[in-house]
Structure 1
């Protein structure tokens, strides 16, 4: 059975935790091996670094990293989403601290039994564990685990703020040199945002916006979209041309966003006494993608397609349509019986010399 886009998305968020812990675990074991040399100076409580023990240790820390990733992504991140940075880090650190005590309680006797080649239930293993618990070796292990945890939590916060794909692209250097690629862009603009902002006031409007954007998350992930940027009440979503056309992801995303927002309508009416709605425009074209910035790095797209899409969005009000596309993009989309296009003619967009043909998109009953 194929994995759902959301499951794939969560797996991509969790795997880096396992990689972080594996790399740091290997680093700590290497440093320990170099420090101990032939291990004549090793404490009795220290596990000798035999090949099978090293394999067990690296497998163990990777599994711990993946468990931390699962807990972080699926449980703790949603719970602490609205907390400040310091509260998140400190609270999570103590939660994981008790988790690590349990992990060490389980894993150390296993490692000791492997090294001594005896049963885990042997009295010698229990004696070894008690010696370990009160030793500097235990303190060293906790420091190593604590350091790995801090790195993991910092990674989690950074990826949550800049975006998983953006952070991965920085690490891999994908856009260190500018890359020319074809992309689809969807500009999404809230309707009547000025009126809503005036009625709600600054603080309530911010809460309204945060909830409004949050309602789109599942639809964007489900349809393989990437959030390029938030600009006030506008969100820009992008796809590589291949991902956007596959299964009509770029247009299905729009309707899924509409559906998810509609389902939360009663919540908006109850909490804010109004229900948000939006319009959108889609176009595709060639962009140059690369890292930009000195004081703050970002992945930046530049190309005529962005300006053109923004101009098409402005026509939504003119035609009283919720979604408009360039005819060039419409020609590339293989519609099924659920959708149909309606031609709206040629337009010379503001600031553009070339004429662009526009179509609206209807979802058939």
Structure 2
């Protein structure tokens, strides 16, 4: 399955799972002793979850990107609640028409005018509002961080091994000078939005947005080349949307990255605002590696430590750049440029301003 489609399917399945939870909770509260009602509620919930999942992934994902959070939350909740109530009205009215021997439309009118519609709508609205709010919080701080904060995993400092990527936009100062502040902000938002799928596809986690840069983190494990493949998936996605960027902004985002790995301390900090942070020299070193990309004419540089963690793959071309002195570091560090063989001839052009 195509990675982009696989990611969307995973998100839709997650929403379907939430829909099933909605159906079970609804049935438990209102029909706790009837098994057939549970089966029926499960079927209805699957349908509702599927419809909501498709709308979220293919309609609303970018449609409301620049609209205020609270307004978007209420609009989506209202739409999904009405959709749920309509589906429930058709299903429940069919049963009422059969039992009471009345016309189907008569049963629909009876349901809409009765207390059941109000009950079902309020239940749907409350559940969906909570579900969407939690989803937005997860998007804000990251799924992994959300679970860690809920479980209290990092209230005390822990030492762990992680892979870090520092991703930086090329020519950002020049682009900012050519565009207005508002247009440049929209450009950055679109750029961050478009590369996010490439990060999620390859199991990365956005640690921080820093101006026009992004810090991405991966656990150290069996698929350590995910960071490399994620970078080139970003290149592919942006190149695919090249014409859109040129029409909208007159410039295509180009970027460079440094990747390094090592041990860091992870802990939660803050009183007014809780945040999970990483402390250690690895982050500073990764930043310095990224800073050498322009000097060494490379889009992607990795450290020797990082390269030693990556399994040999025929589609990865490695070029040694030698031992390089990094600013603020005593010892030189051996750096390597890495390219996907299939993309040697698809080098991304530098920003073109019109």
TM (normalized to structure 2)?
A: 0.81
Could you tell me which residue of structure 1 aligns to residue 7 of structure 2? 9
What CA distance in whole angstroms lies between the structure 1 residues aligned with 2:199 and 2:35? 45
What CA distance in whole angstroms lies between the structure 2 residues aligned with 1:226 and 1:363? 22
What CA distance in whole angstroms lies between the structure 2 residues aligned with 1:336 and 1:53? 53
SS of 2:308's partner is helix
Q: How does 1:62-73 map to 2 (within 5 A)?
A: 64-73=48-57
Could you tell me which residue of structure 1 aligns to residue 41 of structure 2? 57
What CA distance in whole angstroms lies between the structure 1 residues aligned with 2:103 and 2:150? 42
Could you tell me which residue of structure 1 aligns to residue 220 of structure 2? 241
Which structure has the larger Rg? 1
Deviation at 1:170, TM superposition (A): 3.5
CA deviation map 1:194-218 (0-9, x unaligned): 2221222322211221222233233
- Please state if 1:277 is matched with 2:254: yes
What CA distance in whole angstroms lies between the structure 2 residues aligned with 1:21 and 1:171? 22
Could you tell me which residue of structure 2 aligns to residue 293 of structure 1? 270
Q: In the alignment, is the contact (CA less than 8 A) between 2:23 and 2:44 conserved in 1? A: no
- Please state if 1:103 is matched with 2:101: no
CA deviation map 1:286-305 (0-9, x unaligned): 22333332222223222221
Could you tell me which residue of structure 2 aligns to residue 140 of structure 1? 119
Between 1:229-238 and 1:102-111, the stretch displaced more is 102-111
- Please state if 1:350 is matched with 2:327: yes
Q: How does 1:246-325 map to 2 (within 5 A)?
A: 248-325=225-302
Structure 2: gaps (5+ residues): 345-354
Deviation at 1:228, TM superposition (A): 1.5
Deviation at 1:83, TM superposition (A): 2.0
Deviation at 1:327, TM superposition (A): 0.9
What CA distance in whole angstroms lies between the structure 2 residues aligned with 1:19 and 1:175? 28
1:220 aligned residue (199, 214, 225):
199
Could you tell me which residue of structure 2 aligns to residue 190 of structure 1? 169
Could you tell me which residue of structure 2 aligns to residue 81 of structure 1? 65
Q: In the alignment, is the contact (CA less than 8 A) between 2:82 and 2:121 conserved in 1? A: no
What CA distance in whole angstroms lies between the structure 2 residues aligned with 1:284 and 1:231? 20
Aligned residues: 341
Q: In the alignment, is the contact (CA less than 8 A) between 1:343 and 1:359 conserved in 2? A: yes
What CA distance in whole angstroms lies between the structure 1 residues aligned with 2:299 and 2:123? 54
Q: In the alignment, is the contact (CA less than 8 A) between 1:226 and 1:239 conserved in 2? A: yes
Give me the CA root mean square deviation.
Answer: 3.2
What CA distance in whole angstroms lies between the structure 2 residues aligned with 1:308 and 1:217? 24
Could you tell me which residue of structure 2 aligns to residue 232 of structure 1? 211
